[in-house]
Structure 1
Amino acid sequence: MSAAAKDLDLSVLPPEYRVAFEALKAKAARAAELEDIVKRLEHLVAELNQVVHGKKSEKLSEDDRQLTFEDLEAAVAEAREQKKVQTPGDDKPKRKRVARRNRGNLPAGLPRIEQVVEPDSLMCPCGCGQMHRIGEDRNERLDIVPAQCRVIVTVRPKYACRTCTDGVTQAPTPAWLIEGGLPTEGAIAHVLVSKYADHAPLYRQSQILARSGIDIHRSTLADWVGVAAFHLGPIVDRLAEHLKTSTKLFMDETTAPVLDPGRGRTKTGYLWALARDDRSWGGDDPPGVVFFYAPDRRGENAEKFLTGFNGTLQLDGYQGYNRLTRPDRKGGDPIVVAHCWAHARRKLKEIFDRDGSEIAAEGLRQIAGIYAVEKDIRDTSPGQRLSARQARSAPLVEAFGIWLQAQRLRISAKSRLGEKLAYIHRHWDGLQTFLTDGRVEIDSNKVENLVRPIALNRKNALFAGHDEGGKAWGRIASLIETAKINAIEPFAYLKATLEAIAAGHPQHRIDELLPWNFQPSS
């Protein structure tokens, strides 16, 4: 609308023109508002594209990126709703909008509460009488009821004979994990899952319970966690034994800050992850992971944790693992090391992102060719993988090795690029292991993904309160993460397992309590 039209004196116009002019002004104002909304949506979409497709150096970490997605997607939804509300209406019939929801994703096992909405009157408008039901439309929406606390009252009636004095009969008290304690095994399982799977520290759980009028101090919840960790210990030990019977495993380690009471600050402990995942080549053994806690990163910790394991170990380039390959290795035979090509690629990517090095770019292109073969043979048998690698990958790896040596002769060993090339050279033998064994992966990304929840818990809980807390952390996280990668719901598994332990599950049948053997009740 022009400036002259805006300044027009409406009083000089006939009434019908004034009405039309006011309607035109209103439509122009709504159009301007819609234009602002569209610009906002375009800006938000551009930001989402930057998060997903932006330069690596500008990308956030996986965890931070998820938070960014949440906020940006919420803002997009808000803008869309604003646009829907402010869109000028018309009298033309509109096509029915398709609801924005995940159709078919509501599990059949969820309780259904039917709300039948009847018309105000069932009498026919023409006076024929009462109408008859000929069908119905059904819509399903997801409803969420906040965590509901309840009290289980155990009543044990007493019985006595009216004609004799032979005593009183009463059923014994049911077995509880915490005898005479407040929580059921389900309550304990909920605390464990909230802390170690959903990353809610105990003090926050205490605050959540307080909103429901339940005053349970953090220290009480900590007692429950400690009791559960103790009773679950034998299952984790058996899980570790089971994993170490394999001939190929992954291993990685991540920091686990622990409070050091003597100094009044935190120290750096470590959780070492030992994992098995043979699903990519159809292995029969179920996947699993065990987290071992150690107060430091010394290589003897890995040696101790791997006692009894003989075979191939897939890992990164940490030098503390070198002792595992020695003839005098304690706890078993010298292991075969398979090093991680993702770490080699990461070293070159760091250089390329910093200064655009063409040498680093060439190395990345050659590694991409090796990964392209892996993409083609994904989910095939070990024999097929091995044949393809020997025919297609081996020449690429050989060419990369020749290129690597040539570049090391040209580049100063003291430069950043020289250091990265030296790193790859030091691990060259381990980087070729995947060419000789079809069961071996090209990288150790699988165990790195299993370690990610530990990092999330570290961010939320800040630190463990003691070395013993670090051990409990690793123990319970082992069962939760193993349940998750076997598509087992952690709460249902832990609740059933704690109930079985309380009922005196026999030690010689402990394998029945391993996560992959859990059978959910209908």
Structure 2
Amino acid sequence: VLYPNKLPESERVCSGICSTLDGWFRKTVELLKPLYEELKREVFSCDYVQADETTVPVINREKHKADKEYLWMVRSVMEKLVIFHYDGGSRAGAVIESLANHYHFKGYLQCDGFAGYETAFKTSPNVRLLNCLVHIRRHFEQALDENREMAQHALTQIQYIYKIDHCCDKAGFSYEERKAKRLELAKPVMEAMKVWMETEGIKYSPNSLAGKAITYAYTRWDNMMTCLEDGRLLWDNNLAENVIRPITLGRKNYLFCGNHEAAVNMSVICSLLATCKAHDVNPREYLNDVIAQMPYHKKATQEELLNLLPHKWKLKHPECVLTRQKEESCN
């Protein structure tokens, strides 16, 4: 181990600066944690969320290398609130199950095909799982070269389902009108496709791309048909993937988290920044303001903390909304 006083002077200065910056960051995160906890409560008080998980490299000092750990993300679809959650780097379905139970979540949870979600909520009376039609489509796209006729049939049906929603968007339908149109047009297609998969699936080896595509789709099709129940529900998990993409890109820049505590701290900051982005709030102005306020909110009520979250804060600071700033700069 190299100690700062045994390093060259230039390196001792850098080491001292990094130590100071780390100390500032930790103290800042401590100030923001009450907001983070309130944001978690807000997300899980909603009745429709999307979830995803991604890898994050975290230094393991015993192994002297970075381990591949997992960071979870949950986004409330209608309210556009985002939280990241780190639980020792675990990807087990118990992580999202524990979160949902802790905050007494009741409603729809949309996710990709990761088996951990099904394990966590298969018997839950409060959580209705939805899956992602885009992930199902990808598997059929991968099977095109192996069996074009079979894969193209599935892709055509999926395209038709999306086209129905596109027409609803174009017509400006309400959620109830969208639900009615889905029941009229999409439901018969989805029911027919389920029957088609039952007869088509036995023709292919489970190890073939065609067999894998049908198995993947069929085992998640009932969850997909749940989207027929409510016009708010989306066919895919794309919004969640869009939220988590900056973390994926960020891995190329920050390389790793120094330890588990650093990963937790990253979750706090990323949650507030992602919610700012979802609400077009200038993140610099938001953080400058709330960080200055938080020392005076050590005994803040839940309502006071709620009003300091980005979606509420912007109501009192309309000048900090990015779309407005852009319009003013154009003028």
Q: TM-score, normalised by structure 2?
A: 0.85
SS at structure 1 position matched to 2:86: strand
Q: Which residue of the partner structure matches residue 299 of structure 1?
A: 93
The separation in 2 between residues aligned to 1:339 and 1:504, in whole angstroms, is 40
- Change in 2 beyond 3 A, CA 1:504/1:238: closer
Q: Which residue of the partner structure matches residue 512 of structure 1?
A: 307
SS at structure 2 position matched to 1:361: helix
Is the 2:69–2:90 Cα contact (8 Å) retained in structure 1?
Answer: yes
Residues 1:324 and 2:115 aligned together:
no
Map 1:116-195 → 2, pairs under 5 A: none
Is the 2:59–2:256 Cα contact (8 Å) retained in structure 1?
Answer: yes
Map 1:203-214 → 2, pairs under 5 A: none
The one of 346, 351, 359 equivalent to 2:143 is 351
1:236 shift after superposition: 0.8
Residues 1:482 and 2:275 aligned together:
yes
Residues 1:399 and 2:192 aligned together:
yes
Residues 1:437 and 2:230 aligned together:
yes
The Cα RMSD (Å) is 2.0
The one of 329, 337, 346 equivalent to 2:129 is 337
Q: Which residue of the partner structure matches residue 168 of structure 2?
A: 377
1:325 shift after superposition: 2.7
Is the 1:249–1:314 Cα contact (8 Å) retained in structure 2?
Answer: yes
- Change in 2 beyond 3 A, CA 1:472/1:414: same
Stretches of structure 1 that go unaligned for 5 or more consecutive residues are 1-209, 279-285
Relative to total residues, which structure has the larger helix share, 1 or 2?
A: 2
Residues 1:499 and 2:299 aligned together:
no
The separation in 2 between residues aligned to 1:230 and 1:502, in whole angstroms, is 10
The separation in 1 between residues aligned to 2:38 and 2:289, in whole angstroms, is 18
Q: Cα deviation per residue 1:305-349 (whole Å; 9 max; x = unaligned)?
A: 21210111111111111233344x5xxx44111111011001111
**Larger relative contact order (CA 8 Å, sep ≥ 6):** 2
Q: Cα deviation per residue 1:251-290 (whole Å; 9 max; x = unaligned)?
A: 1111111111110111121111110122xxxxxxx31100
1:219 shift after superposition: 2.4
The separation in 1 between residues aligned to 2:71 and 2:297, in whole angstroms, is 31
Q: Which residue of the partner structure matches residue 324 of structure 2?
A: none
The separation in 2 between residues aligned to 1:356 and 1:413, in whole angstroms, is 14
Q: TM-score, normalised by structure 1?
A: 0.55
Q: Which residue of the partner structure matches residue 48 of structure 2?
A: 248
Structure 1 runs (4+) deviating above 4 angstroms are: none
Q: Cα deviation per residue 1:80-119 (whole Å; 9 max; x = unaligned)?
A: xxxxxxxxxxxxxxxxxxxxxxxxxxxxxxxxxxxxxxxx
The separation in 1 between residues aligned to 2:111 and 2:148, in whole angstroms, is 27
Stretches of structure 2 that go unaligned for 5 or more consecutive residues are 1-9, 320-331
The one of 77, 81, 106 equivalent to 1:277 is 77
- Which residue type is aligned with residue 242 of structure 2? N
1:217 shift after superposition: 1.8
- Which residue type is aligned with residue 92 of structure 2? R
SS at structure 1 position matched to 2:143: helix
1:238 shift after superposition: 0.5
1:431 shift after superposition: 1.2
- Change in 2 beyond 3 A, CA 1:380/1:261: farther
Is the 1:292–1:305 Cα contact (8 Å) retained in structure 2?
Answer: no
1:380 shift after superposition: 3.2
Is the 1:247–1:311 Cα contact (8 Å) retained in structure 2?
Answer: yes
1:506 shift after superposition: 4.5
Is the 1:326–1:334 Cα contact (8 Å) retained in structure 2?
Answer: no
- Change in 2 beyond 3 A, CA 1:216/1:260: closer
- Which residue type is aligned with residue 96 of structure 2? A
SS at structure 2 position matched to 1:377: helix
Q: Which residue of the partner structure matches residue 288 of structure 1?
A: 81
- Which residue type is aligned with residue 344 of structure 1? I
SS at structure 2 position matched to 1:296: coil
1:356 shift after superposition: 6.4
The count of corresponding residues between Structure 1 and Structure 2 is 298
Map 1:84-95 → 2, pairs under 5 A: none
SS at structure 2 position matched to 1:432: helix
- Change in 2 beyond 3 A, CA 1:423/1:215: closer
1:403 shift after superposition: 2.2
- Which residue type is aligned with residue 305 of structure 2? I
- Change in 2 beyond 3 A, CA 1:521/1:326: closer
- Change in 2 beyond 3 A, CA 1:229/1:380: farther
- Which residue type is aligned with residue 513 of structure 1? L
The one of 253, 257, 264 equivalent to 2:64 is 264
The separation in 2 between residues aligned to 1:432 and 1:234, in whole angstroms, is 38
SS at structure 1 position matched to 2:91: coil
SS at structure 2 position matched to 1:312: strand
